[in-house]
């Protein structure tokens, strides 16, 4: 049966995607969203840098275009170029991916982010993808691809909409190409600290993009330009799309966002329910579903053994999985857990790297309560599954949270979230109501240790009533935050965008 989305072609532009490079949640989002869109009949593909750590033999990458000339903006009539290649990955089980290869800016780098010339690296990505589309329109190679829409993810690809509306606006192929810009985290806008920059260095967002090797390029606000020049802007949750219009959450761009609010849409991120499935997940000690929660106990005992904690299935395990970052409310976790460990028979497990300050705090807790605290202060892609399947509660008292995937993944495995009502946490976790039996977690509003403490105590008291707790687990595991629903909303946006374009042509 032919899909109503069949004619649409979308090219995701991103700094990372699974399985090739996945530093944060964006890599997972891009991969699973693209995969879900393809099941709807949309020809969605990905364009990203070819980093040196990507194993070409393992993934069987093919070079499909050599010596792609990407203008740098320097020289008479813009004739200085960086030379790149484009490589292609195409397997039936995964979305097709194009890789922009450049020795100096991608191949010789050990990391995705964190270099002094990141502004050049991401400007190269933004202009490189458009040069690739230009060459594709000439049909000079078999794997060419001319999309209807470029879907750009976060500030790293923020110059793509800018280039489209300015330097490439008169190019025949690119003049009708539409762009969507997704804000994954408004806090990160480029390589400069814009909040503390002098007025001389502030970017108005509308002046021409500076040449690659000019000092001015590093002061450009890539995020601001993506918002200004894109045809549509999306955020990764509905609540976050409203929060960023306020000074508290707008990161200095709230006025701009308020001006363009008519083109802003919030669509909550999803997870892949085939991948995140406690019934089939091979990473677990015991598989289970909401009808067979007794088997979940084996994972709890295995989790306690993994972290050298006292093995007792009756002891509630509270956990945190994610970056050790101020945004995540780690200061509240440290303060509250310190109090709870003194007087409550609980255990606490932490997984994830980040701030050395917080790593030290959790290490001190581990030394004080060796049988009650387990820590793994490093990023890990497999261990969280065991935490989700074995812990009783997951803590997310974030200062702000554009979407968050951890709470959704945890609910899928029956670990009950205790969250602050902000961003995607507000959109995905329903506060438990003991009168109706409805709800999937415990929610508080004020960013304070007292509000957080109160909800944890409430959860611990509720945990004592096993029938009630099983009901909450069942509610959480039944929640549907699959990519199928989110991808459908993106598909509707794509269709609306193309209808508006066609009506203007």
Q: State residue 93's pLDDT score.
A: 85
Burial (Cβ within 10 Å: 0-12, 13-18, ≥19) of residue 310:
exposed
CB atoms within 10 A of CB 149: 23
**Tokens at 139, concatenated:** 């049909």
Quick: pLDDT tens for 451-491: 999 999 999 999 999 999 999 999 999 999 999 999 999 99
Burial (Cβ within 10 Å: 0-12, 13-18, ≥19) of residue 470:
middle
- 9-270+484-504 and 293-480 have identical folds: yes
Domain boundaries along the sequence of the chain: 9-270+484-504, 293-480
Rounded Cα–Cα distance for residues 159 and 226 (Å) = 6
Contacts (Cβ under 8 Å, ≥6 apart) of 51: 20, 21, 106, 107, 109, 112
Number of H helices, E strands in the chain: 16, 15
Interstrand relation of 149-153 and 178-183 (parallel, antiparallel or unpaired): parallel
Q: Which residues of the chain have pLDDT under 70?
A: 1-6, 76-78, 198, 200, 504-505
Q: State residue 262's pLDDT score.
A: 96
Q: 104-126: string of b/e by CB count within 10 Å (b at 16+)?
A: ebbeebeebbeeebbbbbbbbbb
Rounded Cα–Cα distance for residues 256 and 275 (Å) = 38
Q: State residue 200's pLDDT score.
A: 67
**Tokens at 163, concatenated:** 């280039």
Reported pTM: 0.92
Q: State residue 2's pLDDT score.
A: 40
Could you please state the CATH topology (level 3) that the domain comprising 293-480 is classified under. Rossmann fold (3.40.50)
Respond yes or no on whether the N-terminal peptide bond of residue 19 is cis (omega within 30° of 0).
Answer: yes
Judge: domain 9-270+484-504, CATH 3.40.50.2000: yes
Q: State residue 77's pLDDT score.
A: 64
């Amino acid at each position: 049966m032919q899909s109503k989305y069949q004619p649409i072609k979308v090219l995701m532009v991103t700094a990372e995607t699974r399985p090739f490079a996945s530093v944060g949640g964006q890599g997972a989002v891009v991969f699973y969203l693209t995969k879900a869109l393809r099941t709807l009949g949309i020809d969605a593909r990905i364009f990203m840098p070819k980093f040196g750590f990507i194993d070409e033999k393992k993934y069987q990458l093919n070079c499909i275009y050599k010596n792609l000339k990407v203008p740098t903006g320097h020289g008479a009539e813009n004739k200085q170029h960086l030379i790149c290649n484009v490589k292609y990955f195409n397997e039936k089980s995964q979305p097709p991916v194009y890789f922009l290869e450049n020795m100096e800016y991608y191949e010789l780098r050990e990391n995705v982010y964190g270099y002094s010339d990141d502004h050049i690296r991401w400007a190269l990505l933004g202009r490189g993808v458009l040069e690739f589309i230009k060459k594709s329109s000439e049909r000079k190679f078999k794997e060419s691809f001319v999309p209807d829409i470029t879907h750009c993810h976060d500030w790293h690809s923020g110059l793509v909409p800018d280039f489209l509306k300015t330097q490439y606006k008169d190019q025949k192929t690119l003049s009708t190409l539409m762009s969507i810009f997704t804000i994954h985290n408004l806090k990160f806008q480029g390589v400069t600290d814009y909040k503390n920059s002098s007025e001389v260095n502030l970017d108005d967002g509308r002046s021409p993009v500076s040449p690659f090797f000019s000092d001015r390029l590093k002061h450009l606000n890539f995020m601001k330009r993506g918002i200004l020049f894109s045809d549509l802007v999306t955020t990764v949750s509905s609540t976050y799309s409203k929060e960023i219009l306020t000074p508290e959450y707008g990161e200095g761009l709230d006025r701009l966002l308020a001006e363009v609010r008519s083109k802003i849409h919030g669509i909550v991120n999803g997870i892949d329910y085939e991948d995140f499935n406690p019934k089939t997940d091979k990473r677990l000690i015991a598989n289970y579903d909401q009808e067979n929660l007794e088997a979940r106990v084996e994972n709890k005992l295995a989790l306690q053994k993994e972290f050298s904690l006292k093995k007792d299935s009756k002891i509630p395990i509270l956990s945190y999985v994610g970056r050790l970052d101020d945004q995540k409310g780690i200061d509240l976790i440290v303060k509250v857990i310190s109090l709870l460990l003194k007087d409550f028979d609980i255990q606490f497990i932490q997984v994830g790297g980040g701030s050395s300050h917080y790593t030290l705090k959790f290490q001190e807790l581990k030394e004080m309560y060796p049988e009650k605290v387990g820590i793994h202060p490093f990023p890990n892609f497999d261990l969280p599954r065991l935490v989700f399947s074995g812990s009783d509660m997951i803590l997310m008292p974030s200062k702000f949270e554009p979407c968050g995937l951890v709470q959704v993944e945890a609910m899928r495995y029956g670990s009950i979230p205790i969250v602050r009502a902000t961003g995607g946490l507000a959109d995905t976790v329903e506060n438990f109501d003991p009168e109706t039996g409805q709800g999937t977690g415990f929610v508080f509003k004020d960013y304070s240790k007292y509000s957080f403490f109160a909800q944890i105590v409430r959860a611990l008291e509720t945990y004592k009533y096993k029938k009630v707790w099983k009901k909450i687990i069942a509610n959480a595991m039944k929640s549907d935050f699959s990519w199928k629903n989110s991808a459908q909303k993106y598909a509707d946006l794509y269709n609306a965008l193309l209808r508006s374009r066609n009506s203007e042509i």
